[in-house]
Amino acid sequence: DQQVKQNSPSLSVQEGRISILNCDYTNSMFDYFLWYKKYPAEGPTFLISISSIKDKNEDGRFTVFLNKSAKHLSLHIVPSQPGDSAVYFCAASMSGGATNKLIFGTGTLLAVQP
């Protein structure tokens, strides 16, 4: 049962344009969401997070939007740069449990073309 889904395996955008990566989840108990970026042969790097009490969080070129009613979040990267080319993972966790274990999606490969 895939509780966190990233339905687009890949995305290609032009340098300077906006990249929009999408993520859907099924478990309404999730209340904290994170985006990680991963280059080959490296571990995931934390990018940005959002709590379920917010619907938007912004950090520089990165903005995450959360739509709780649709169980959907998205990561916007503006403007996109060639160095942003990587696999992006969406992850979710729930408070109230014993730990903050993360449930990951399968990732979206972003290619930013110069």
Nearer to another protein, 71 or 79 (CB): 71
Task: List residues near another protein by CB under 8 A.
Answer: 4, 32, 34, 36, 41-46, 49, 89, 91, 93, 95, 97-107
Nearer to another protein, 42 or 70 (CB): 42
Q: Is 83 helix (H, G, I), strand (E, B) or coil?
A: helix
Dihedral in degrees, nearest 10, Cα atoms 5, 46, 41, 39 = 70
Least separation in angstroms between residue 62's CB and another protein is: 15
Q: Is 67 exposed, middle or buried (0-12, 13-18, 19+ CB in 10 A)?
A: exposed
Nearer to another protein, 97 or 114 (CB): 97
